[in-house]
Structure 1
Protein backbone atom coordinates (compact mmCIF):
# COMPACT_ATOMS: atom_id res chain seq x y z
CA UNK A 1 0.00 0.00 0.00
CA UNK A 2 1.51 3.30 -0.99
CA UNK A 3 1.17 6.66 0.74
CA UNK A 4 -1.32 7.91 -1.87
CA UNK A 5 -3.79 5.17 -0.85
CA UNK A 6 -3.40 6.13 2.83
CA UNK A 7 -4.06 9.79 2.09
CA UNK A 8 -7.33 9.23 0.24
CA UNK A 9 -10.31 10.84 2.02
CA UNK A 10 -12.16 7.51 2.51
CA UNK A 11 -9.12 5.93 4.17
CA UNK A 12 -8.59 8.93 6.44
CA UNK A 13 -12.25 8.88 7.48
CA UNK A 14 -12.07 5.15 8.22
CA UNK A 15 -8.92 5.63 10.31
CA UNK A 16 -10.58 8.56 12.11
CA UNK A 17 -13.68 6.45 12.89
CA UNK A 18 -11.53 3.60 14.24
CA UNK A 19 -9.57 6.03 16.43
CA UNK A 20 -12.78 7.61 17.79
CA UNK A 21 -14.30 4.18 18.50
CA UNK A 22 -11.12 3.10 20.29
CA UNK A 23 -11.06 6.31 22.35
CA UNK A 24 -14.72 5.87 23.33
CA UNK A 25 -14.08 2.23 24.28
CA UNK A 26 -11.02 3.15 26.37
CA UNK A 27 -12.99 5.96 28.06
CA UNK A 28 -15.86 3.58 28.82
CA UNK A 29 -13.47 0.99 30.29
CA UNK A 30 -11.75 3.63 32.43
CA UNK A 31 -15.10 4.96 33.67
CA UNK A 32 -16.34 1.44 34.47
CA UNK A 33 -13.16 0.70 36.40
CA UNK A 34 -13.42 4.02 38.27
CA UNK A 35 -17.05 3.32 39.16
CA UNK A 36 -16.10 -0.17 40.36
CA UNK A 37 -13.33 1.24 42.55
CA UNK A 38 -15.70 3.85 43.96
CA UNK A 39 -18.21 1.12 44.87
CA UNK A 40 -15.44 -1.07 46.32
CA UNK A 41 -14.25 1.80 48.53
CA UNK A 42 -17.76 2.74 49.63
CA UNK A 43 -19.05 -0.77 50.36
CA UNK A 44 -15.80 -2.35 51.58
CA UNK A 45 -16.36 -5.98 52.67
CA UNK A 46 -19.95 -5.82 51.41
CA UNK A 47 -18.62 -5.26 47.88
CA UNK A 48 -16.55 -8.44 48.11
CA UNK A 49 -19.49 -10.39 49.55
CA UNK A 50 -21.80 -9.31 46.71
CA UNK A 51 -19.15 -10.06 44.06
CA UNK A 52 -18.72 -13.54 45.52
CA UNK A 53 -22.48 -14.02 45.73
CA UNK A 54 -23.07 -12.82 42.16
CA UNK A 55 -19.99 -14.53 40.72
CA UNK A 56 -19.23 -11.49 38.57
CA UNK A 57 -18.00 -7.99 39.45
CA UNK A 58 -20.15 -6.31 36.79
CA UNK A 59 -23.36 -7.91 38.11
CA UNK A 60 -22.36 -7.07 41.69
CA UNK A 61 -21.65 -3.46 40.81
CA UNK A 62 -25.02 -3.15 39.07
CA UNK A 63 -26.72 -4.59 42.16
CA UNK A 64 -24.88 -2.20 44.51
CA UNK A 65 -25.69 0.78 42.28
CA UNK A 66 -29.33 -0.35 42.34
CA UNK A 67 -29.21 -0.42 46.16
CA UNK A 68 -27.88 3.14 46.21
CA UNK A 69 -30.66 4.28 43.90
CA UNK A 70 -33.32 2.56 46.06
CA UNK A 71 -32.04 4.04 49.32
CA UNK A 72 -31.71 7.52 47.80
CA UNK A 73 -35.52 7.53 47.52
CA UNK A 74 -36.00 6.95 51.26
CA UNK A 75 -36.78 9.80 53.62
CA UNK A 76 -34.02 9.01 56.12
CA UNK A 77 -34.49 11.12 59.23
CA UNK A 78 -32.13 12.16 61.99
CA UNK A 79 -33.27 11.48 65.53
CA UNK A 80 -34.11 14.26 67.92
CA UNK A 81 -32.08 14.49 71.12
CA UNK A 82 -35.08 13.15 73.05
CA UNK A 83 -35.49 10.16 70.72
CA UNK A 84 -31.77 9.44 70.81
CA UNK A 85 -31.81 9.56 74.62
CA UNK A 86 -34.83 7.22 74.74
CA UNK A 87 -33.10 4.66 72.49
CA UNK A 88 -29.92 4.88 74.54
CA UNK A 89 -31.92 4.16 77.70
CA UNK A 90 -33.72 1.24 76.04
CA UNK A 91 -30.38 -0.20 74.91
CA UNK A 92 -28.98 0.07 78.42
CA UNK A 93 -32.01 -1.86 79.74
CA UNK A 94 -31.49 -4.58 77.11
CA UNK A 95 -27.83 -4.90 78.07
CA UNK A 96 -28.73 -5.24 81.75
CA UNK A 97 -31.19 -8.05 80.91
CA UNK A 98 -28.42 -10.01 79.22
CA UNK A 99 -27.02 -11.15 82.59
CA UNK A 100 -30.26 -12.90 83.58
CA UNK A 101 -31.62 -13.91 80.17
CA UNK A 102 -29.14 -13.72 77.27
CA UNK A 103 -31.57 -15.11 74.69
CA UNK A 104 -34.31 -12.64 75.59
CA UNK A 105 -31.84 -9.75 75.58
CA UNK A 106 -30.63 -10.68 72.10
CA UNK A 107 -34.21 -10.86 70.81
CA UNK A 108 -34.90 -7.46 72.35
CA UNK A 109 -31.70 -6.08 70.81
CA UNK A 110 -32.91 -7.26 67.40
CA UNK A 111 -36.30 -5.62 67.99
CA UNK A 112 -34.69 -2.39 69.17
CA UNK A 113 -32.42 -2.20 66.12
CA UNK A 114 -35.47 -2.80 63.90
CA UNK A 115 -37.42 -0.07 65.74
CA UNK A 116 -34.50 2.32 65.33
CA UNK A 117 -34.33 1.57 61.59
CA UNK A 118 -38.04 2.31 61.32
CA UNK A 119 -37.66 5.56 63.28
CA UNK A 120 -34.87 6.64 60.94
CA UNK A 121 -37.06 5.96 57.88
CA UNK A 122 -35.88 2.60 56.57
CA UNK A 123 -38.77 0.52 55.23
CA UNK A 124 -39.43 -2.72 57.08
CA UNK A 125 -39.25 -5.47 54.52
CA UNK A 126 -37.72 -8.93 54.81
CA UNK A 127 -34.38 -9.23 56.56
CA UNK A 128 -32.24 -9.51 53.42
CA UNK A 129 -33.75 -6.35 51.94
CA UNK A 130 -33.25 -4.48 55.24
CA UNK A 131 -29.60 -5.61 55.32
CA UNK A 132 -29.14 -4.54 51.68
CA UNK A 133 -30.67 -1.13 52.44
CA UNK A 134 -28.51 -0.67 55.54
CA UNK A 135 -25.40 -1.61 53.56
CA UNK A 136 -25.66 1.60 51.54
CA UNK A 137 -25.18 3.88 54.55
CA UNK A 138 -23.46 1.48 56.96
CA UNK A 139 -21.42 -0.95 54.86
CA UNK A 140 -18.85 -1.55 57.60
CA UNK A 141 -21.38 -2.95 60.10
CA UNK A 142 -23.93 -4.68 57.88
CA UNK A 143 -21.95 -7.93 58.15
CA UNK A 144 -22.39 -7.66 61.93
CA UNK A 145 -26.15 -7.40 61.45
CA UNK A 146 -26.13 -10.52 59.29
CA UNK A 147 -23.90 -12.39 61.75
CA UNK A 148 -26.19 -11.50 64.66
CA UNK A 149 -29.18 -12.83 62.75
CA UNK A 150 -27.33 -16.08 62.02
CA UNK A 151 -26.69 -16.49 65.74
CA UNK A 152 -30.37 -15.83 66.51
CA UNK A 153 -31.27 -18.50 63.96
CA UNK A 154 -28.84 -20.96 65.54
CA UNK A 155 -30.31 -20.16 68.96
CA UNK A 156 -33.82 -20.98 67.72
CA UNK A 157 -32.45 -24.41 66.81
CA UNK A 158 -30.78 -24.79 70.21
CA UNK A 159 -27.28 -24.49 68.74
CA UNK A 160 -26.03 -21.18 70.20
CA UNK A 161 -23.99 -20.83 73.36
CA UNK A 162 -24.07 -17.95 75.82
CA UNK A 163 -20.82 -16.73 74.24
CA UNK A 164 -22.54 -16.77 70.84
CA UNK A 165 -25.36 -14.70 72.31
CA UNK A 166 -22.85 -12.25 73.78
CA UNK A 167 -21.28 -11.91 70.34
CA UNK A 168 -24.72 -11.28 68.82
CA UNK A 169 -25.20 -8.44 71.33
CA UNK A 170 -21.87 -6.95 70.28
CA UNK A 171 -22.91 -7.19 66.63
CA UNK A 172 -26.30 -5.59 67.23
CA UNK A 173 -24.66 -2.89 69.29
CA UNK A 174 -22.30 -1.91 66.47
CA UNK A 175 -25.25 -1.34 64.13
CA UNK A 176 -27.29 0.33 66.87
CA UNK A 177 -24.51 2.86 67.50
CA UNK A 178 -24.21 3.63 63.80
CA UNK A 179 -27.97 4.06 63.39
CA UNK A 180 -28.08 6.30 66.45
CA UNK A 181 -25.74 8.76 64.66
CA UNK A 182 -24.68 10.63 67.75
CA UNK A 183 -23.34 14.04 66.68
CA UNK A 184 -19.58 14.45 67.22
CA UNK A 185 -20.02 16.99 70.02
CA UNK A 186 -22.14 14.56 72.03
CA UNK A 187 -19.77 11.60 71.71
CA UNK A 188 -17.48 12.97 74.38
CA UNK A 189 -20.02 12.68 77.13
CA UNK A 190 -23.36 11.42 78.30
CA UNK A 191 -25.14 9.51 75.57
CA UNK A 192 -22.16 7.81 73.95
CA UNK A 193 -20.56 6.84 77.24
CA UNK A 194 -23.75 5.13 78.39
CA UNK A 195 -23.89 3.07 75.20
CA UNK A 196 -20.30 1.95 75.67
CA UNK A 197 -20.83 0.75 79.23
Structure 2
Protein backbone atom coordinates (compact mmCIF):
# COMPACT_ATOMS: atom_id res chain seq x y z
CA UNK A 1 0.00 0.00 0.00
CA UNK A 2 1.19 3.46 -0.78
CA UNK A 3 1.21 6.49 1.50
CA UNK A 4 -1.99 7.92 0.06
CA UNK A 5 -3.89 4.68 0.86
CA UNK A 6 -2.57 4.73 4.43
CA UNK A 7 -3.68 8.36 4.83
CA UNK A 8 -7.16 7.59 3.50
CA UNK A 9 -7.40 4.51 5.73
CA UNK A 10 -6.21 6.55 8.74
CA UNK A 11 -8.78 9.28 8.03
CA UNK A 12 -11.54 6.69 7.69
CA UNK A 13 -10.61 5.10 11.02
CA UNK A 14 -10.40 8.53 12.68
CA UNK A 15 -13.81 9.47 11.25
CA UNK A 16 -15.34 6.25 12.57
CA UNK A 17 -13.78 6.84 16.00
CA UNK A 18 -15.03 10.44 16.12
CA UNK A 19 -18.51 9.32 15.06
CA UNK A 20 -18.48 6.58 17.68
CA UNK A 21 -17.34 9.01 20.39
CA UNK A 22 -20.05 11.49 19.36
CA UNK A 23 -22.68 8.74 19.46
CA UNK A 24 -21.54 7.55 22.90
CA UNK A 25 -21.57 11.14 24.21
CA UNK A 26 -25.07 11.63 22.80
CA UNK A 27 -26.25 8.39 24.44
CA UNK A 28 -24.74 9.43 27.76
CA UNK A 29 -26.47 12.82 27.58
CA UNK A 30 -29.79 11.15 26.70
CA UNK A 31 -29.41 8.74 29.62
CA UNK A 32 -28.63 11.60 31.98
CA UNK A 33 -31.59 13.63 30.68
CA UNK A 34 -33.96 10.70 31.17
CA UNK A 35 -32.58 9.97 34.64
CA UNK A 36 -33.07 13.61 35.62
CA UNK A 37 -36.58 13.85 34.16
CA UNK A 38 -37.93 10.56 35.45
CA UNK A 39 -36.05 10.23 38.74
CA UNK A 40 -37.09 7.06 40.59
CA UNK A 41 -39.24 6.04 37.62
CA UNK A 42 -36.05 5.63 35.57
CA UNK A 43 -34.61 3.08 37.99
CA UNK A 44 -37.96 1.28 38.21
CA UNK A 45 -38.08 0.98 34.41
CA UNK A 46 -34.50 -0.37 34.33
CA UNK A 47 -35.37 -2.91 37.02
CA UNK A 48 -38.62 -4.01 35.35
CA UNK A 49 -37.27 -4.16 31.79
CA UNK A 50 -33.87 -5.57 32.66
CA UNK A 51 -31.63 -3.09 30.86
CA UNK A 52 -30.98 0.61 30.52
CA UNK A 53 -31.43 0.44 26.75
CA UNK A 54 -34.90 -1.08 27.01
CA UNK A 55 -35.88 1.26 29.86
CA UNK A 56 -34.72 4.34 27.98
CA UNK A 57 -36.58 3.24 24.88
CA UNK A 58 -39.76 2.81 26.96
CA UNK A 59 -39.34 6.20 28.64
CA UNK A 60 -38.81 7.92 25.28
CA UNK A 61 -41.95 6.21 23.98
CA UNK A 62 -43.86 7.57 26.99
CA UNK A 63 -42.57 11.06 26.31
CA UNK A 64 -43.67 10.90 22.67
CA UNK A 65 -47.10 9.55 23.61
CA UNK A 66 -47.69 12.24 26.26
CA UNK A 67 -46.41 14.98 23.93
CA UNK A 68 -49.36 14.17 21.67
CA UNK A 69 -51.88 14.48 24.50
CA UNK A 70 -53.62 17.75 25.26
CA UNK A 71 -52.75 18.01 28.97
CA UNK A 72 -54.12 21.29 30.29
CA UNK A 73 -54.17 22.96 33.68
CA UNK A 74 -57.51 23.48 35.41
CA UNK A 75 -59.41 26.71 35.40
CA UNK A 76 -59.58 28.23 38.91
CA UNK A 77 -63.27 27.33 39.34
CA UNK A 78 -62.60 23.70 38.43
CA UNK A 79 -59.64 23.54 40.80
CA UNK A 80 -61.81 24.96 43.59
CA UNK A 81 -64.49 22.34 42.87
CA UNK A 82 -61.94 19.53 43.00
CA UNK A 83 -60.40 20.91 46.21
CA UNK A 84 -63.81 21.09 47.85
CA UNK A 85 -64.62 17.54 46.77
CA UNK A 86 -61.34 16.37 48.30
CA UNK A 87 -62.09 18.13 51.61
CA UNK A 88 -65.50 16.45 51.77
CA UNK A 89 -64.00 13.09 50.94
CA UNK A 90 -61.33 13.44 53.62
CA UNK A 91 -63.93 14.46 56.19
CA UNK A 92 -65.74 11.15 55.65
CA UNK A 93 -62.71 8.95 56.34
CA UNK A 94 -63.45 8.20 60.01
CA UNK A 95 -66.96 6.99 59.26
CA UNK A 96 -66.22 5.16 56.00
CA UNK A 97 -62.51 4.51 55.31
CA UNK A 98 -63.17 1.87 52.63
CA UNK A 99 -65.60 4.13 50.80
CA UNK A 100 -63.21 7.07 50.97
CA UNK A 101 -60.45 5.07 49.27
CA UNK A 102 -62.86 4.24 46.44
CA UNK A 103 -63.95 7.89 46.27
CA UNK A 104 -60.31 9.08 46.27
CA UNK A 105 -59.52 6.80 43.34
CA UNK A 106 -62.61 8.02 41.51
CA UNK A 107 -61.76 11.69 42.18
CA UNK A 108 -58.15 11.24 41.00
CA UNK A 109 -59.41 9.57 37.81
CA UNK A 110 -61.87 12.41 37.25
CA UNK A 111 -59.07 14.93 37.74
CA UNK A 112 -56.81 13.05 35.32
CA UNK A 113 -59.57 12.96 32.73
CA UNK A 114 -60.32 16.66 33.18
CA UNK A 115 -56.63 17.48 32.70
CA UNK A 116 -56.56 15.44 29.46
CA UNK A 117 -54.98 12.14 30.45
CA UNK A 118 -56.49 9.09 28.71
CA UNK A 119 -58.19 6.56 30.95
CA UNK A 120 -56.64 3.34 29.66
CA UNK A 121 -55.60 0.58 32.02
CA UNK A 122 -53.86 1.49 35.26
CA UNK A 123 -50.30 0.81 34.08
CA UNK A 124 -50.83 3.01 31.02
CA UNK A 125 -52.20 5.82 33.21
CA UNK A 126 -49.26 5.50 35.59
CA UNK A 127 -46.81 5.53 32.67
CA UNK A 128 -48.44 8.67 31.25
CA UNK A 129 -48.41 10.39 34.64
CA UNK A 130 -44.74 9.51 35.11
CA UNK A 131 -43.71 11.77 32.23
CA UNK A 132 -44.74 15.01 33.93
CA UNK A 133 -45.07 13.85 37.54
CA UNK A 134 -42.38 11.22 38.14
CA UNK A 135 -42.02 12.04 41.83
CA UNK A 136 -45.62 11.14 42.70
CA UNK A 137 -46.44 8.30 40.32
CA UNK A 138 -45.17 5.86 42.95
CA UNK A 139 -47.82 7.25 45.29
CA UNK A 140 -50.43 6.31 42.71
CA UNK A 141 -49.05 2.79 42.44
CA UNK A 142 -48.94 2.42 46.23
CA UNK A 143 -52.53 3.65 46.59
CA UNK A 144 -53.72 1.25 43.90
CA UNK A 145 -51.90 -1.65 45.55
CA UNK A 146 -53.58 -0.91 48.89
CA UNK A 147 -56.98 -0.54 47.19
CA UNK A 148 -56.47 -3.95 45.56
CA UNK A 149 -55.53 -5.48 48.92
CA UNK A 150 -58.63 -3.88 50.42
CA UNK A 151 -60.82 -5.50 47.77
CA UNK A 152 -59.40 -8.85 48.86
CA UNK A 153 -60.12 -7.99 52.51
CA UNK A 154 -56.41 -7.72 53.36
CA UNK A 155 -56.13 -4.01 54.25
CA UNK A 156 -56.73 -2.52 57.68
CA UNK A 157 -57.70 1.06 58.55
CA UNK A 158 -54.06 2.18 58.76
CA UNK A 159 -53.45 0.83 55.25
CA UNK A 160 -56.52 2.70 54.01
CA UNK A 161 -55.26 5.90 55.64
CA UNK A 162 -51.96 5.46 53.81
CA UNK A 163 -53.81 4.90 50.53
CA UNK A 164 -55.68 8.18 50.99
CA UNK A 165 -52.39 9.94 51.76
CA UNK A 166 -50.87 8.49 48.57
CA UNK A 167 -53.87 9.58 46.53
CA UNK A 168 -53.63 13.03 48.13
CA UNK A 169 -49.98 13.46 47.08
CA UNK A 170 -50.90 12.69 43.48
CA UNK A 171 -54.06 14.79 43.68
CA UNK A 172 -52.13 17.83 44.96
CA UNK A 173 -49.55 17.46 42.19
CA UNK A 174 -52.22 17.18 39.49
CA UNK A 175 -54.25 20.12 40.78
CA UNK A 176 -52.41 22.51 38.51
CA UNK A 177 -54.33 25.73 37.95
CA UNK A 178 -54.22 27.81 34.77
CA UNK A 179 -53.09 31.40 35.11
CA UNK A 180 -56.01 33.66 34.31
CA UNK A 181 -55.12 36.96 32.74
CA UNK A 182 -56.70 39.83 34.58
CA UNK A 183 -57.82 42.82 32.53
CA UNK A 184 -55.66 45.84 33.29
CA UNK A 185 -56.94 48.10 36.03
CA UNK A 186 -57.76 51.76 35.35
CA UNK A 187 -54.55 52.72 37.15
CA UNK A 188 -52.48 50.38 34.95
CA UNK A 189 -54.17 51.73 31.81
CA UNK A 190 -53.34 55.32 32.81
CA UNK A 191 -49.74 54.32 33.57
CA UNK A 192 -49.39 52.76 30.10
CA UNK A 193 -50.64 55.94 28.38
Distance, in Å, in 2 between the alignment partners of 1:111 and 1:81 is 21
CA offset at residue 181 of structure 1? 1.5
- 1:18-59 deviation per Cα after TM superposition (whole angstroms, max 9, x unaligned): 000001001101110110011001100000000000100011
Alignment correspondent of 2:50: 55
Alignment correspondent of 2:184: none
Tell me which of 105, 108, 116 is aligned to 1:113.
Answer: 108
Q: CA RMSD in A?
A: 1.2
Distance, in Å, in 1 between the alignment partners of 2:75 and 2:24 is 45
Q: Find the residue that maps to 2:105 and give its secondary structure.
A: helix
Alignment correspondent of 2:19: 24
Residue 143 (structure 1) aligned with residue 141 (structure 2) = no
CA offset at residue 183 of structure 1? 6.9
Distance, in Å, in 2 between the alignment partners of 1:45 and 1:164 is 23
Distance, in Å, in 2 between the alignment partners of 1:183 and 1:115 is 17
Tell me which of 151, 163, 182 is aligned to 1:168.
Answer: 163
Q: Find the residue that maps to 2:69 and give its secondary structure.
A: coil
Q: Check whether the contact 2:75–2:178 (CA below 8 A) recurs between aligned residues.
A: no
Tell me which of 46, 67, 70 is aligned to 2:65.
Answer: 70
* Runs of 4+ with >6 A deviation: none
Structure 2, unaligned runs of 5 or more: 180-193
Residue 11 (structure 1) aligned with residue 3 (structure 2) = no
TM-score by structure 2 length?
0.90
Distance, in Å, in 2 between the alignment partners of 1:135 and 1:49 is 11
Q: Taking CA–CA contacts closer than 8 Å with sequence separation of 6 or more, which of the two structures ends up with the larger relative contact order? A: 2
Distance, in Å, in 1 between the alignment partners of 2:104 and 2:144 is 11
Structure 1, unaligned runs of 5 or more: 185-197
Q: Find the residue that maps to 1:181 and give its secondary structure.
A: coil
